[in-house]
Homo-oligomer: A and B are copies of this chain.
Amino acid sequence: MNIALLGFGVVGRGVYDILANMDHIQVKKVICLEDIALPDAQVCHDIRDILDDPAIDTVVEAMGGLHPAYEFVRACMEAGKNVVTSNKALVCTFYDQLIPLASEKGILFRCTAAVGGGIGWLSELERSRRGQRLTQVGGIMNGTCNYILYAMTQLGLGYEEALKQAQSLGYAEAKPATDVEGIDTWHKVILSSNIAFGVSMDPASVPVAGISRICAGDVAAFTARGYTCKLISTAACRDGAYTAYVQPTLVPAGQPEAAVPSNYNLVSFQGEYSGRMSFFGQGAGRYPTAYNVVQDLLDLTAGKGFYSPYGPKVEAVNQNKMRYYVRGARDGWLQSHAAENWGDAVVTEPVAVDEMHRWLKDQDGAFIAAIAEDLL
């Protein structure tokens, strides 16, 4: 197998290092916009050098972002090259373009490192759905948010301090919005749903609330009541109807999610025969992520392409009801659903998830967290 690397950042460099020990996968070309210390023969700056090289059978996209990643990946597929990517935003956003195109062109496409970093989560879904129907997927899918919430809970830090600490440890980016607003988790749960349930879920139907408005007082109120706040994604398929959402969630002590430390991830599925299965590991980082890119390359050599058939377009409809902790807002709707007070905050009676998220859109500064009694 002769591959080209698109991008030579954290993940691309990691893939390059791991492949240095593997004889049967050669890195033939590396495209990078900046100067890099690699042999001249390997470095190129124009995607056409890769497209026009018939010896390159497979491309690893590790650039990140939507553009030009999408145009490059598309062009490689059109040129008959297999593609491996770790870019969840790319695969989620262009799912309806990329997955059918892979079939049409007869190329192999995998993206295991896109969800769960070092956890082979999408490969787990591929394996587990062979012998049973999957009914639920979700969990803690973003290490940045988990670190911030963990630091606030365990070390008593405020949100800004915890974010700064995450940044200094390399767990958060300088511009953290994609992570802390839940967008990264949202991409991941949509992609997980598509593969687990064999559908193409409309992203616009999946509500998301992030953690950027949480404060130390919220965390103290949760701890006093035996809860740990985590950013949790949930998607389910029952009787042909779909639910999917991302929101801060209060998990009772003793649940596995409550014990997930630092920047780790914990993702789970429910299957009709397997019951609940959960996977815990490094959700990001150079080598864990690169390791799963390399696993995809090995699966490609065994002829394995995408994880599940491209399925019909579906929408999430979240009529299931949960109790919510709400701080930073007061209006008639909230008052009419209030069941108790936790200090300054309101805890609602059970409210439909979609209704809560629709209301939240108009509330500047409000923080919400769903209360989960039992995630098992």
Contact = CB atoms under 8 A, between A and B. Distances in A.
A61 to B, nearest CB: 19
Interface in A225-274: 254-256, 258-261, 266, 268, 271-274
A279 interface: yes
Nearest to A130: B298
A311 B268 CA distance: 34
A285 B276 CA distance: 12
Interface stretch (A50-58, A101-109, A115-123, A210-218): A115-123
Given A127-B120, A130-B298, A298-B131, A376 B274 contact: no
Interface stretch (A288-296, A319-327, A338-346, A362-370): A288-296
Interface in A91-138: 118-120, 123-124, 127-128, 130-132
A223 interface: no
A291 B271 contact: yes
A14 B127 CA distance: 19
B259 A288 contact: no
A18 B280 contact: no
Contacts of A123: 127
A275 B275 CA distance: 26
A308 interface: no
Question: A120, A275, A298: which has the most chain B beta carbons within 10 Å?
Answer: A275
A282 interface: yes
A280 B258 CA distance: 14
Given A127-B123, A256-B256, A277-B281, A376 B298 contact: no
B259 A259 contact: yes
Contacts of A147: none
A78 to B, nearest CB: 29
A280 B282 contact: no
B281 A280 contact: no
B260 A288 contact: no
A127 B295 contact: yes
A266 B277 CA distance: 10
Contact of A280 (B118, B279, B287, B290): B279
A359 B259 CA distance: 35
Nearest to A255: B259
Contact of A287 (B127, B128, B273): B273
Nearest to A253: B259
A278 interface: yes
A294 B271 CA distance: 14
Contact of A254 (B14, B256, B259): B259
A287 B261 contact: no
Interface in A280-318: 280-282, 285, 287-288, 290-292, 294-295, 298
B271 A282 contact: no
A295 B259 contact: no
Nearest to A281: B277
- Most chain B Cβ neighbours within 10 Å, of A254, A277, A287: A277
A-B pairs with lowest CB-CB distance, top 10: A278-B280, A259-B259, A273-B291, A277-B281, A273-B287, A275-B282, A131-B294, A118-B274, A274-B291, A256-B259
30 contacts: A18-B131, A22-B131, A118-B273, A118-B277, A119-B277, A120-B127, A127-B295, A131-B291, A131-B295, A254-B259, A254-B261, A255-B261, A256-B256, A256-B260, A259-B259, A268-B280, A273-B291, A274-B291, A274-B292, A275-B285, A276-B280, A276-B281, A276-B282, A277-B279, A277-B281, A277-B282, A278-B279, A279-B279, A279-B280, A280-B280
